[in-house]
Structures are given as C-alpha cells and as structure tokens.
Amino acid sequence: MAGSLVSVSGKSKLNLSSKKFVVVVAEWNEDVTEALYQGAYHALLSLGARKSNILRRNVPGSFELPLMAQWAAEKKDIDAVICIGCVVQGDTPHFDYICQAVAHGIMNVNLMTKKPIAFGVLTTLNKKQALERAGGKYGNKGEEAALTVVKMLETLEHKG
C-alpha cells in the first residue's frame, strides 16, 4: 500500500464515476473497522467514485473477508474490492493462523478473479496500534486501501 499517505487529494486519472466498488467490512473490532471503512469510502468519493457505486458488505470477522471478496469480485459489474478488517494479537497462536489465512485468501482472490482486491486488514499487537492506523497518528489504512485499488485500476487501464 501507499505507506506514508496521510490523506487522498485530487482525482484519479480514470473516470471513476462508472467504476463499481465493494467494500467488505469485518464486524469484529467494529470501532476500528468502521473507521477504516469511513476512510476507504471517503477516499473513493474524493477520487471521483459515485456514492451509488460503492457497495458495503459486512462479514462477521476477518477470516470471512476472502470468501465475500470472491463473491463480490465474481460479479461482472464489480471493478474492485476493498477488504477491511482488524486482527489484534492475543495470548494464543490464533492470531498467526487468522492473519496468514486472511492474507493468503485475499491474495488468491486477486489472482483468481484478476481484479484489484485490497488488503485493508490491520494485524496489530494491541488495540492502541489499531486505532493509530484507523484515523490516528499513522493515518487511515482504509483510505490507503481505496487508493491501492484505484491505482491498480489505473495500471490495468494502461497495461499492454
């Protein structure tokens, strides 16, 4: 992703008004994922997407993100998917298994559908780190995920 991006300004090189996006949001750690969703949603709007072309789909947790992303990306009228989630490390290896499965699952959806699928999933050691990346001192990683799919759509448009 963009890394140091703090805010999105300007319009995309593409006309995004005809592009359709799905933002898949995990309900677990909802205070964090809602802030990430808001970042992604407002970034898409500021880049030129239409409100009516930004669809939201909720899933129970981050583990379910890849399947919903696949369902969304398989639809012909969907141009890109943004996956929003937050996994905070606990006392057991559960964190490692979930993070790895989600990352691999989302990557596989990218490759299988050949559509941009953004990994807007925070994998943090604690809730404070998550909040710092959901609109806090490290920006909003949901915003960065939106910028990522737009940049990939631009790349797709100009490839070959």
Does some domain include residue 96? yes
**88 with 50: CB under 8 angstroms?**
no
Give the separation between CA 150 and CA 152, rounded to whole angstroms. 5
Cβ-based neighbours of 131, under 8 Å, separated by 6 or more: 31, 32, 35
Query: Does 148 map to a domain?
Result: yes
Residues 42, 94, 104, 158: which is the catalytic one? Answer: 94
Mean of pLDDT values over 54-66: 97
- The CATH code of the domain that includes 77 is 3.40.50.960
Provide mean pLDDT across the span 11-25: 88
pLDDT mean across residues, the chain: 90
pTM: 0.91
3-class secondary-structure state, position 136: strand
- Kindly report the three-state secondary structure assignment for every residue of 1-15: CCCCCCCCCCCCCCC
Q: Which domain holds residue 104?
A: 23-158
Residues 68-97, mean pLDDT to the nearest whole number: 93
Cα separation of 24 and 146, whole Å? Answer: 12
CA 160 to CA 148: how far, in whole Å? 20
Q: Assess if residue 28 is contained within a domain.
A: yes
- The average pLDDT across 16-33 equals 95
In a domain? residue 5: no
Nearest to 85 by CA among 123, 128, 55: 123
Strand partners, 26: 59
Could you give the number of structural domains in the chain?
1
* Known catalytic residue at 94: yes
SS3 label, residue 126: coil
Given pLDDT bands bounded at 50, 70 and 90, which one contains residue 13? confident
